[in-house]
Amino acid sequence: MLQVISLLLENKPGALLRVTGLLSARGYNIESLTVARTLDPELSRMTIVVDVDPALRSQVIKQMNKLINVLQAVDLTETPSVCRDMVLVRVRTVQESRTAVLKEAEIFGARVISSAVDGFVLEASGAPEKLEEFIQVMRSYGESDVTRAGTVAMSLETKKLRLQPPVPTRADAKLEQTNGVLNA
Amino acid sequence: MSNLMSGAKMLLECLAKEGVDCFFGYPGGVTLPLYDAIYDHPIRHILVRHEENACFAAEGYARATGKVGVCCATSGPGATNLVTGLVDAMMDSIPIVAITGQVPTKLIGSDAFQEADTFGITRSCTKHNFMVQKLDELQQIVHEAFYIASSGRPGPVLVDIPKDVFLAQGHYAPVNTIHLPGYKVFTEGHAGQIRRAAQMIWDAERPWVYAGGGIIAAGASEELRQLVEIVDMPAVCTLMGLGALSSDHPNFVSMPGMHGSYAANMGMSNCDVMIALGVRFDDRVTGRIAAFAPNAKVIHVDIDPAEIGKNRAPDLPIVGDVKRVLQKMLRNVEELKPANVEKNAASRRAWWKQVRGWKEEHPLARPTSDTEIKPQHLMAEIDRLSGGQAIVTSDVGQHQMWGAQLIRFNEPRLWINSGGLGAMGFGLPSAIGAQFARPDKLVFTIVGDGGFQMSIPELATVASYGLPIKIIVMNNGYLGMIRQWQELFYNNRLCSAQLDCFPDAEKLAGAYGFKGRTIDKPHELASALEEAVREPGPYLLNVRVSPNENVYPMIPAGCAVNEMVLGPPEPVGAA
Ligand SMILES: Cc1ncc(C[n+]2csc(CCOP(=O)(O)OP(=O)(O)O)c2C)c(N)n1
Ligand SMILES: [Mg+2]
């Protein structure tokens, strides 16, 4: 079963690699990954879909929570949450099928974002399984190219963010001040 | 007063503010601005002879004191040479900060001379790492690095600094706060869980303390001692935890694990409540995890939530600083004592009798011979001279295991070795760091004839700083641990295990200007070691020991405690 992990992390260079590195170091493949800024521009929200041995999932999530750049990593696999994906499908189709394609698109709530004599580019969003069906249907009409955005997820519960408050740096340590050359 | 200064100077001011008195490093092109600032700065820079050893020395410094150790290397090859030491510090949770130079910001990504992606390379071998992009960030980052390295579960932090940042001029204004919102440090431990643990301890008929490096990192030795005394429980210390409870303490059993004692492993296996403190159930301790401590309820205290349940699911997890947790637990244990002390007293006495029986049945062997020096004899003599007081750093191999088994450590931070990574070449440079940290202390380093040759360049560092380290080579003419495994598990097909060339110790040490000697007779051993200790400067003692001795007991990798091998097979035809 695919698993969904949602992370809130600092929008800093390297932060993404630290998270994905925990998965790749164990040989896990990422099924999908999305990341973008939150309302606070210093933070990003990341959704990762992975296929991890369930026994190890909580271990991996604990490791993610340990990362300094990660404010929170939560497992959405078994908690109330919503998941959505978006897809762009370019379907090449013959003249006779155009109306049928548009009809199907309507059924799936897809929008036409480009139309040409040899076909359409359609945009659909929805639950990942639903999009899977949509893609299959479109492929039955002709050669298709597909770009998926990856799953974005949101928990339906608010989990309290536990953030570390600022701490003071070490009080000035005293070093003997000497003059002249010391380390020559 | 003008406080305009270069980034390099600013870095040194930050180090001074963090209490750094010396650090270990090796210069290079992009760190030259830093070395120019070091030239007349009161912080001492110790020039080692290889960057890997700068990292190991910083670790030795940190392991001997608990303070953050600092090392420094140039970009490219300097930085890549640090990697082994960083992983080592990561595995053993040692607080160090590594400073690396980087090519100027404008050249990053252009395959510039001596450019390496240090930030990328060291991502997975540090607790955290930073690349400073501009001078404004430098001070904040350096203080964050020290804070991260030394708080929570300690570990290595690397700060990569481009040359132009070292050169840039800016105003120094001390940074007084650190804000790392995503850094989670769990110190207190759940009060209810701690109370339940205290009750569980009193309910035990066969309680057992399994203490590790976390006790040393937390400075919780005193609390550990009180706990074992109040309940009168047997305790083992892991390879990383030796000295956490004094080796002379009557409740100390010995070290558990692959080369742990019979009693230690039998106790681990037969206890009914295991109090695991600052340990990580490493495979070298547990053997086959499925068969480990089958009847024990486990209380696991650790500051790192990711360690809880990683290898063994505990019955009672407590996430927190083991010192703070033990302080609370001690109060609970005291409170519960009057109502509980009698309850299982008889079973606990029987348990002690059994543990003592195991100790007497199969004590750790200290064989001696009239004709050759047994490795165990060497360790016993070092133990006699140390009296549980000296710092002993070790390299990796058979000598390390015999040292851990047979030398006493009556305080924490005396036994310094590469536990988790098992990095050969660690012994000598870590002794250098330890001796700088503790100039008052007698420091031995016990190294194999293999590992010593990995760190031989550091003899120059020892000589040039006149460090009175006693370098004891346990010379068995082999990569002993490799020979042991090839003998036992590969039909004695010894391949690349023999070390048939070793330098003349007297000449070698002499070439560096200090004393050295080779011995191979048992009757010379005591006096040679005493001579080494008496010598005010460094001393290289090459001790030729029996080449074919193996370390026992041994629980072969992946086996369970009941598959423990206690000694060599009886020779065929023996009565
Ligand atoms: C850097 C490194 N390379 C290889 C090993 C594998 N290894 C573990 S013990 C050992 C033999 C060490 O020989 P020596 O230093 O002579 O010590 P002895 O076992 O003989 O006491 C080797 C090669 C290691 N631990 N570290
Ligand atoms: Mg050897």
Query: Which structural domain, as residue segments, surrounds residue A61?
Result: 2-79
Among A28, A62, A79, the domain boundary falls at A79
Identify whether A184 is part of a domain.
no
Measured CA to CA, the distance from residue A67 to residue B485 in angstroms comes to 38
Residue B427: nearest ligand to its CA?
1
B478 close to ligand 1 (CB < 6 Angstrom): yes
Give the DSSP per-residue string, chain A: --EEEEEEEE--TTHHHHHHHHHHTTTPPEEEEEEEE-SSTTEEEEEEEE---HHHHHHHHHHHHHSTTEEEEEE-TTSSEEEEEEEEEEEE--GGGHHHHHHHHHHTT-EEEEEETTEEEEEEEE-HHHHHHHHHHHHTTS-EEEEE---EEEESSPPPP--PPPEEPPPPPP-----S----
Shared domain check, A132 and A88: yes
Query: Which parts of B151-190 fold into alpha helices (H)?
Result: 163-167
Identify whether A39 is part of a domain.
yes
Among B169-173, B225-229, B409-413, B415-419, the minimum mean pLDDT is found in B169-173
Least Cα distance to A68 among B152, B382, B413 occurs for B152
- Chain A residues within 8 A of B40 when measuring between CB atoms: 180-183
Q: What is the pLDDT of residue A178?
A: 47
What token pair was written down for A115? 């139309």
pLDDT of B26 over the 80 cut: yes
Shared domain check, A90 and A75: no
Please provide the average confidence, as pLDDT, over all residues in chain A: 91
Identify whether A167 is part of a domain.
no
Identify whether A67 is part of a domain.
yes
Taking residues B93-107, what's their average pLDDT?
98
Are B40 and A69 an interchain contact pair (Cβ–Cβ within 8 Å)?
no
- DSSP symbol at B259: T
What is the domain-level CATH number for residue A90?
A: 3.30.70.1150
Identify whether A178 is part of a domain.
no
Measured CA to CA, the distance from residue A36 to residue B403 in angstroms comes to 54
The answer to whether residues B546 and B480 touch, using CB atoms and an 8 Å cutoff, is: no
CA atoms within 13 A on the CB side of A93: 22
Please provide the average confidence, as pLDDT, over all residues in chain B: 97
Q: pLDDT digits over B279-315, tens only?
A: 999 999 999 999 999 999 999 999 999 999 999 999 9
* Residue B550 alpha carbon to ligand 1 centre in Å: 14
Shared domain check, A86 and A74: no
Compare CB distances from A66 to B17, B174, B306 and report the shortest one's residue: B306
Q: Is B481 among the catalytic positions? A: yes
Among A43, A61, A79, the domain boundary falls at A79
- When comparing pLDDT for A134 and B562, which is higher? A134
The answer to whether residues B369 and B522 touch, using CB atoms and an 8 Å cutoff, is: yes
What is the domain-level CATH number for residue A75?
A: 3.30.70.260
Identify whether A166 is part of a domain.
no
Measured CA to CA, the distance from residue B228 to residue A92 in angstroms comes to 77
Shared domain check, A86 and A56: no
The confidence band for B236, taking pLDDT boundaries of 50, 70 and 90, is very high
Measured CA to CA, the distance from residue B356 to residue B264 in angstroms comes to 10
Shared domain check, A38 and A63: yes
- Tokens 């790749």 locate to A24
State the best of B18, B31, B40 to mutate against chain A, taking most chain A CBs within 10 Å: B40
Burial of A94 (0-12, 13-18, 19+ CB in 10 A): exposed
Burial of A48 (0-12, 13-18, 19+ CB in 10 A): buried
Shared domain check, A7 and A40: yes
% of chain A exceeding 70 in pLDDT: 93
Least Cα distance to B540 among B456, B483, B482, B450 occurs for B456
Shared domain check, A69 and A7: yes
Shared domain check, A146 and A103: yes
Are A68 and B183 an interchain contact pair (Cβ–Cβ within 8 Å)?
yes
Q: pLDDT digits over A117-173, tens only?
A: 999 999 999 999 999 999 999 999 999 999 999 999 999 998 888 888 899 988 766
The answer to whether residues A110 and A83 touch, using CB atoms and an 8 Å cutoff, is: no
Shared domain check, A91 and A147: yes
pLDDT of B575 over the 50 cut: no
The confidence band for B344, taking pLDDT boundaries of 50, 70 and 90, is very high
What's the pTM? 0.96
Q: pLDDT digits over A11-65, tens only?
A: 999 999 999 999 999 899 999 999 999 999 999 999 999 998 887 889 999 999 9
Identify whether A74 is part of a domain.
yes
Shared domain check, A88 and A72: no
Ion ligand 2: residue ranges with CB closer than 5 A: B 448-450, 476, 480
CA-based nearest residue in chain B for residue A184: B39
State the best of B176, B185, B186, B303 to mutate against chain A, taking most chain A CBs within 10 Å: B176
- Estimate to the nearest angstrom the gap between the alpha carbon of B112 and the chain centroid: 37
Shared domain check, A108 and A70: no
Q: pLDDT digits over B38-80, tens only?
A: 999 999 999 999 999 999 999 999 999 999 999 999 999 999 9
Contact residues, chain A to chain B, C-beta under 8 Å: 9-10, 13-14, 17-18, 21, 25, 58-59, 62-63, 65-72, 162-170, 172-173, 175-178, 180-184
Q: pLDDT digits over B110-148, tens only?
A: 999 999 999 999 999 999 999 999 999 999 999 999 999
Burial of B414 (0-12, 13-18, 19+ CB in 10 A): buried
Measured CA to CA, the distance from residue A56 to residue A54 in angstroms comes to 5
The confidence band for B2, taking pLDDT boundaries of 50, 70 and 90, is low
Taking residues B223-242, what's their average pLDDT?
98
Among A79, A97, A125, the domain boundary falls at A79
Tally the domains of chain A.
2
Identify whether A27 is part of a domain.
yes
Taking residues B518-538, what's their average pLDDT?
98
Phi-psi region of B423 (alpha: psi -120 to 50; beta: other; left: phi over 0): beta
* Residue B423 alpha carbon to ligand 2 centre in Å: 14
Shared domain check, A111 and A47: no
Measured CA to CA, the distance from residue B414 to residue B253 in angstroms comes to 18
Q: pLDDT digits over B361-384, tens only?
A: 999 999 999 999 999 999 999 999
